[in-house]
Amino acid sequence: MGFSSSRFSALVPAGLLALVIIASGCASEPAHPVRQPAAQPRAKLPQHPGAGVAAAQVGAPYRYGGATPRGFDCSGLVYYSYRKAGIRVPRTTQAQLRNANRVPLTQLQPGDLVFFKLDRRPVSHVGIYTGNDRFIHAPSSGKRVSFTTMNDPYWQARLIAAGRYY
């Protein structure tokens, strides 16, 4: 059974009318107001200026020897972030520890550097403490700058020192 052009021309106005009715329903106000979910508070950025710069780099890739937003290694993230905040720190993890004002681990404040022993070297990793038992760092190859908890057993077992730069 074929479809005649007279039948088609009779259906076109009805189809258009249905389309207009449907479209106008989308544009009208709802019968009762829709409740919008409450806005979630933004995560509070760290108060220390160097930690704040580092927090803005979350998601940047890890790059061995890197000290720019194109890629960071752990000490490069500290070097870049503190330099942007007007605080001079050395470039390497070992020099950062050697030149820092030592801080007891029980007295950590946002912006303090936390140092870890991950291999045979005396110190091999650094992060920036951001408060609430968290630090920010450039973890390792294939990963990105991120926040990590100090309560993680892996990091707790390897934490060896903390230092502060003014």
Q: Which residues are catalytic?
A: 74, 125, 137
What CA dihedral angle connects 151, 103, 63 and 94, to 10 degrees? -130
Q: Identify the burial level of 97 via C-beta atoms within 10 angstroms of its C-beta, where 0-12 means exposed, 13-18 middle and 19 or more buried.
A: buried
Alpha carbon distance 76, 98 (integer Å):
16
Sheet strand arrangement including 125-131: 101-102, 159-164, 113-116, 125-131, 134-137, 146-149
Q: Give the contacts of 25 (CB within 8 A, at least 6 positions apart).
A: none
Those residues with Cβ within 8 angstroms of residue 90's Cβ, 6 or more apart along the chain or in another chain: 79, 96, 98, 99
CB 60 within 8 A of CB 69: yes
Residue type, position 94, single letter: Q
